[in-house]
Every structure is written in structure tokens, then in C-alpha cells.
Homo-oligomer: A and B are copies of this chain.
Amino acid sequence: MITDDPRELRRTDFPVLREVPTRWGDVDVYGHVNNVVHYAMFDSVVNGWLIEATGTDIRQGDEVGLVVETGCRYLAELDFPSVLTVGLGLERLGNSSVSYRLAIFDAAESPAAAGRFVHVYVDRASRRPVTVPHRVRQALAVLGAPAP
């Protein structure tokens, strides 16, 4: 998805949409939201959605999702104050990994940014990869993954 033209992404391309307001300190010396902040939004949207969709506190399980790769393309400048809409979809479900695709929308039809975010599930103690937990696979069905 990120290899295609991300400017063509629309809100309707994402099964989940979540609102994220910007903060004053998100804006850097150039008067726009700093590039780092987009990842704070991705992180919050993926994990916030997972906590709600699984109905469990994902931080407390024996398996935890560690971030192994992220990326973002910046297409338009964002400002404070504003309430952004972040779209969340599934790029790929592997045996132990989940790749999400994300986009950030301001008022415009086209996204202001598009990115990816990859979790690998590991055993909390040993940090060795494990199968994506059943409760996460169930939640991912909402994003279009095959039913577990």
C-alpha cells in the first residue's frame, strides 16, 4: 500500500477510523507538526484499537507485540489545534507478525501522511517470537483478516 501513491488513499480505504487531537508541543520551529509525532499517533491508534477490540489489556498478557518496523511518508503539513482522523487497516498477517497500514487525515480528502507499523509477538520473558495470540487474530478479522 505504501508503495502505491499514498495521495490516493481515502478514509473509506480504512476499516477503522480514530480521532487524535494534536498537542501544542507537537508543533516544531517550522510551525507544523514534527515528523516524530506521526509515529506517536500510529502507536496510540494501533494499541488503543487493540486494547478496545480485544477487550483485554494487551500489556498484561504472556505475549506482547514488539514494534520491529515503522515507516511514514509526509504529504502535507499538520497544525495545532486540530483533531485528526487516523485510518487503520491490515497490510499483512503473518505467523508471528502483524503489519498495519495507516494514514492521517486533516480536513482534506487526501491524507497528510501514510505509514506502516509492524508488530512481532514475542514471549514476554524470553522475547522469542510466538504465534499471534488468538484474541488478536479475532480482533484482526474486523480489519479483514481471515477468521481465526
- Enumerate chain A interface residues (CB-CB to B < 8 A): 20-21, 23-25, 27-31, 34-37, 39-41, 43-44, 47-48, 51-52, 59, 64, 66-74, 77, 80-81, 127
Number of this chain's copies in the complex: 4
Q: Which residues of B contact A77 (CB under 8 A)?
A: 66, 127
Asked if A23 and B35 sit within 8 Å, CB to CB, the answer is no
Q: Which residues of B contact A36 (CB under 8 A)?
A: 25, 36, 39-40, 43
| A-B CB contact pairs (8 Å), 23 listed | A21-B44, A23-B40, A23-B43, A24-B28, A24-B40, A25-B36, A25-B44, A27-B28, A28-B28, A28-B29, A29-B29, A29-B31, A35-B39, A35-B43, A36-B39, A44-B81, A51-B81, A52-B81, A68-B74, A69-B71, A69-B73, A70-B71, A71-B72
Q: Which residues of B contact A71 (CB under 8 A)?
A: 69-72
The residue of chain B having its C-beta at the shortest distance from the C-beta of A22 within the complex is B44
CA distance A52 to B41 in the complex (A): 23
Asked if B69 and A72 sit within 8 Å, CB to CB, the answer is yes
Q: Which residues of B contact A29 (CB under 8 A)?
A: 27-29, 31, 59
